[in-house]
Amino acid sequence: MSSRLLIVTGLSGAGKTTAVQSLEDLGFFVVDNLPPALIPKFAELCEQSALKKIALVVDIRGGEFFDTVFDVLRDLDNKNIVYEILFLEASNEILVQRYKASRRRHPLSGGEVLEDIKAERARLKELRGMANKIIDTSKLTARQLKEEIYSIYGQNRSESDLFITVMSFGYKHGIPLDADLVMDVRFLPNPYYVPELRHLTGNDPKVQQHVCSSEVTTEFKEKYAGMIEFLIPHYIKEGKATLMIAIGCTGGMHRSVTLANWLGEFLRKKGYKVAVRHRDIKET
């Protein structure tokens, strides 16, 4: 199929509306809440049209029609129709907060919101496992989600192209659920215990100097860079379009930020398309 077919799905309240609006801004022809049974015919029609980028939103709002989605995906595979799946999710706590703030009913509406969310998550578990890209929006603002969509789907990528996101995070806030690779750097010198550095972040040169002046850090950077350089061509060979590398320390403020900035710059110099994001540094 010459067109790009993207199937957007995920948990209700996880940001599909924002994602769809962002895809429309990027020139995607979007159809929301399309019954899965119509996807193969729609894909064939698009093949004969001038449409090059199509996004179809499929989720539990389809009711009993949604249960046919797996048969439909197998049909697409049998017809050699290439597609991608984008899955959006968030934590139960965040989804409950969003529903309370919006005062909207959950599509399942079977009882309490939390129970509906758990039921939906179980129902979507298999589809999540088939996704090409999973975005956890628990700690993303609408603007950050748009940026994530733009970075992933903003260009027509060649088969050998790869977009890399390097994210710093704090283990005390949880591991990013959408990470492909996770590296723990809590063994490096910790600026938190230096009073004049405690309230700074890894974006500050003083913190960077403290972390990187250690021989352990120097050796780690050399070994980790070598491993990442080894892995990326193999990911590209397997057709991976995006790669999320998460680097974590205790609070996500000092060591992980320093190393994420370093790795991002290292990969840019190697010619890769890279975005660096610091999950646990609060925006001002």
Give per-residue pLDDT as tens, 70-106: 888 888 888 888 889 999 999 999 999 888 887 777 8
- Beta bridge partners, 57, equal 8
The confidence band for 112, taking pLDDT boundaries of 50, 70 and 90, is confident
Decide: pTM greater than 0.95: no
Is 263 strand, coil or helix?
helix
Q: What is the mean pLDDT of the chain?
A: 87
pLDDT band at 135 (very low <50, low <70, confident <90, very high): very high
Cβ-proximal residues to 71 (8 Å cutoff; 6+ apart), any chain? none
Task: Say what the pLDDT of residue 40 is.
Answer: 82
Q: Which residue has the tokens 């405690």?
A: 198
Size (the chain), residues: 284
Which DSSP symbol is given to 161?
A: -
Name the more confident of 65 and 256: 256
- Residue 225, φ and ψ in degrees, nearest 5: -60, -40
For the chain, domains (ranges, CATH) are 4-153 (3.40.50.300), 163-278 (no CATH)
Cα 209 to Cα 18, 203, 217, 220, 259: the distances in Å are 39, 11, 11, 15, 11
Cβ-contact 280, 172 below 8 angstroms: no
Least confident span in 26-35, 42-51, 150-159? 150-159
Q: Which of 129, 9, 107 is nearest to 57 (CA)?
A: 9
Q: Identify the residue with better confidence: 77 or 252.
A: 252
DSSP label at 58? -
What is the Cα–Cα distance from 251 to 168, expressed in whole angstroms? 10
Other CB atoms within 10 Å distance of the CB of residue 243: 21
Over pLDDT 90: what percentage of the chain?
A: 43
